[in-house]
Amino acid sequence: MSDATVKLDSKAFAAQLHTQFKVHAGDGDPMVVELFEVLEPQAPPQVELFLLHFRGPRSPRLPQRIHHFDHEKLGAFDLFITAIEADERGIAYEAVFNRLRKQPA
């Protein structure tokens, strides 16, 4: 994940639920995906764990790798995403944040 994502937490993403993100997947126009879910599974107190679920069109399918994202409020950042589901609504992608929380100085 890029340095820009260090500043982003689950609350920042949850505030942007059901908004659109542009994903730059190559030389063409960016693909538009929607953030439809932010999950926070149980984790030890020292671990920050959350999952982002995006939905994009049925075609083309984004490959599992790091993609460059742009959002009007969150700015530009890189995320590793993988496709987790496909149905008539489109393809769902997941990004997982699993990092140690900063300890107070």
DSSP label at residue 27: S
Mean pLDDT estimate for the chain: 92
**Domain residue ranges of the chain, discontinuous segments joined by +:** 3-100
**What is 3-100's CATH number, 2.60.120, 2.30.40, 2.40.30, 3.40.50?**
2.40.30
pLDDT > 80? residue 76: yes
Of residues 65 and 103, which shows the higher confidence score?
65
pLDDT > 80? residue 91: yes
Q: In this structure, are residues 49 and 101 in contact, taking their beta carbons and an 8 Å threshold?
A: no
pLDDT band at 55; cut points 50, 70, 90: very high
Q: What is the pLDDT of residue 105?
A: 60
- Residue range 69-79: average pLDDT? 95
pLDDT band at 101; cut points 50, 70, 90: confident
pLDDT digits (tens, 9 = 90+) for 25-44: 877 889 999 999 999 999 99
Instruction: Classify residue 81 by burial, with Cβ atoms within 10 Å: 0-12, 13-18, 19+.
Output: buried
